[in-house]
């Protein structure tokens, strides 16, 4: 497995993220680092937690060079465990607490994970998994805590989303993580780097990188429990120390619905305290983007990003009103091109499979899109989500959008599944709606959509299965379709 490494020597000069954070602790140990509801964890108390978790891992025989999985429902504990493993010279791999047996076998083979620690009883009882107690004592021996300065040590893993297949894993060296974090902490002068509201699973790389950033800066992280209500998130967003927030589109939508129910025609957006509200984990576009701008914050920016490369484009300011369906302007230092199904380059304005180049690496994220004459990036769907029936070509995103327009539907994911005949795929729609609506929705789709483009099978879920980035897990949906065919309505 190739380790992602940096050519910079700043790690040797400036030390690790852990060492930088310790300097913040020594400067002001009582400053808030985590705020969750009525609970506030100071910098010093967080480091005491790190020392306590380190002692636990050491007693479990974890030593330098080990790769350890962390799959917790308590995200703050997982973050402390990362620091603890760094101090032992071990490599943490943060996982979702819902990790399947196939994924556990995959990370053991692909990353060399020797053990997984979890505070979730359903997981810690499984083979190869161990309990990470919730009541580990804090330790005052923080001055004995050190972080090895080996620039080649593995300190994190780059992971693909794992929504359509088992996640790809690539280890990241201490040197590279430090350089990446240092770069994020030196933004253009107009970009705020402040106390952040966070609600996503730490297994999502975007969450980890923001937390690394704030540990480096010594700024606070205002979080909510992993299982939170819109009211809890609203309280966090209105916290007097909150300065910015980064949320996925599905959470933005729920927050819009919550705020709209409070006051559908407010004189001002609800969160004027935020200097930045950013969408992450998929572009927020169209009417929902405009609703976020009106109801939540007029400082909203939406991004197109993917796990391997991070943020590719950003839409903000006047561009939102003029081009609300765009995914933004491509960032400096990033190039985006398109190619056809044979891998041949296409003209800039012609839709095709995206090819993204960033920091000398080329990525093919599997998305379809194009660049407009004005330099705006538009995402039109996934490469694998294009269907053709009786010479009629259509995309999964087109079908999903039409189904989402129904009053009783909250969300929808459309995908292909193997048919009974060789080479024949059937189109399946997984719909977020009350399962009691399934027959009515089927009747509505029969009357509204042409036979050539409507799905073959539909199933209503109270909530669609999602991964750590809150993206719908197509891999899980395909398994459900294979294992539970009786729960689908045949159109």
DSSP 3-state percent helix, strand, coil across the chain (nearest 5):
35, 25, 40
pLDDT of residue 416: 83
Level-2 CATH architecture, domain 10-213: 3-Layer(aba) Sandwich (3.40)
How far is Cα 407 from Cα 295, in angstroms, rounded to an integer?
A: 21
pLDDT of residue 262: 92
Contacts 24+ apart (CB under 8 A), 148-154: 148/16, 148/64, 148/86, 148/87, 148/89, 149/11, 149/12, 149/15, 149/16, 149/19, 150/89, 150/174, 151/9, 151/11, 151/12, 151/175, 152/3, 152/5, 153/86, 153/89, 153/91, 154/3, 154/67, 154/91
Cβ atoms of 452 and 388 within 8 Å: the answer is no
Smallest Cα–Cα separation from 233: which of 253, 213, 204? 253
- Do the domains spanning 10-213 and 229-384 agree at the CATH topology level? yes
- Which has the higher per-residue pLDDT, 19 or 193? 19
Q: Does domain 229-384 match CATH 3.40.50.12780? A: yes
Q: Does domain 390-490 match CATH 3.30.300.30? A: yes
Q: What is the mean pLDDT of residues 117-144?
A: 91
pLDDT of residue 3: 61
Name the range with the highest mean pLDDT among 6-15, 54-63, 411-420.
54-63
Query: Minimum mean pLDDT among 20-34, 386-400, 407-421, 451-465: which range?
Result: 386-400
Give the tens place of pLDDT for each residue, 36-74: 999 999 999 999 999 999 999 999 999 999 999 999 999
Is 1 a residue whose pLDDT tops 80? no
pLDDT category of residue 187 using cuts at 50, 70 and 90: low
Q: What is the mean pLDDT of residues 221-227?
A: 93
pLDDT of residue 283: 72
The DSSP H or E segment spanning 158 is strand 154-159
Q: What is the mean pLDDT of residues 459-486?
A: 86
pLDDT of residue 342: 83
Q: What is the mean pLDDT of residues 150-168?
A: 80
Q: Where are the domains of the chain?
A: 10-213, 229-384, 390-490
């Amino acid at each position: 497995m190739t380790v992602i490494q940096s050519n910079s020597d700043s790690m040797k000069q400036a030390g690790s993220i852990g060492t930088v954070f310790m300097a913040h602790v020594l400067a002001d140990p009582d400053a808030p680092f985590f705020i969750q509801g009525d609970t506030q964890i100071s910098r010093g108390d967080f480091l005491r937690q790190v020392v306590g978790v380190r002692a636990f891992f050491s007693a479990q025989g974890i030593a330098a060079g080990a790769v350890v999985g962390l799959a917790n429902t308590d995200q703050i504990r997982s973050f402390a465990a990362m620091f603890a493993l760094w101090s032992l010279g071990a490599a943490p791999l943060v996982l979702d607490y819902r990790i399947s047996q196939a994924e556990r076998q995959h990370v053991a083979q692909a990353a060399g994970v020797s053990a997984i620690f979890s505070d979730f009883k359903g997981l810690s009882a499984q083979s190869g998994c161990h309990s990470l107690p919730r009541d580990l004592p804090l330790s005052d021996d923080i001055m004995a805590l050190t972080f090895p300065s080996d620039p080649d040590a593995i300190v994190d893993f780059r992971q693909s989303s794992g929504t359509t297949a088992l996640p790809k894993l690539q280890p990241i060296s201490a040197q590279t993580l430090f350089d990446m974090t240092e770069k994020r902490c030196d933004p253009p002068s107009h970009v705020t780097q402040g106390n952040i509201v966070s609600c996503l699973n730490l297994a999502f790389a975007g969450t980890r990188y923001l937390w690394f950033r704030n540990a480096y800066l010594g700024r606070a992280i205002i979080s909510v429990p992993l299982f939170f209500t819109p009211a809890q998130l609203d309280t966090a967003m209105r916290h007097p120390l909150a300065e910015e927030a980064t949320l996925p589109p599905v959470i933005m939508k729920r927050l819009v619905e919550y705020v709209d129910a409070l006051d559908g025609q407010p004189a001002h957006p609800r969160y004027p305290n935020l200097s930045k509200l950013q969408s992450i984990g998929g572009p927020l576009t169209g009417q929902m983007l405009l609703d976020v701008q009106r109801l939540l914050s007029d400082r909203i920016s939406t991004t197109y990003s993917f796990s391997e490369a991070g943020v590719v484009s950003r839409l903000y300011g006047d561009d939102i009103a003029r081009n609300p369906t765009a995914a933004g302007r491509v960032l400096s230092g990033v190039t985006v091109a398109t190619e056809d199904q044979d891998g041949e380059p296409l003209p800039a304005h012609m839709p095709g499979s995206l090819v993204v180049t960033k920091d000398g690496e080329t990525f093919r994220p599997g998305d379809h899109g194009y660049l407009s004459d004005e330099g705006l990036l538009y995402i039109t769907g996934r490469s694998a989500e294009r269907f053709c029936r009786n010479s009629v070509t259509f995309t999964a995103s087109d079908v999903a959008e039409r189904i989402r327009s129904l009053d009783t539907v909250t969300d929808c994911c459309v995908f292909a599944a193997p048919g009974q005949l060789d080479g024949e795929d059937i189109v399946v729609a997984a719909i977020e709606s009350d399962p009691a609506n399934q027959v009515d929705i089927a009747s509505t789709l029969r009357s509204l959509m042409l036979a050539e483009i409507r799905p073959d099978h539909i199933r209503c879920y109270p909530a669609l299965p999602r991964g750590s980035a809150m993206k719908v897990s197509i891999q899980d949906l395909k398994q459900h379709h294979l294992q539970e065919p009786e729960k689908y309505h045949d159109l």
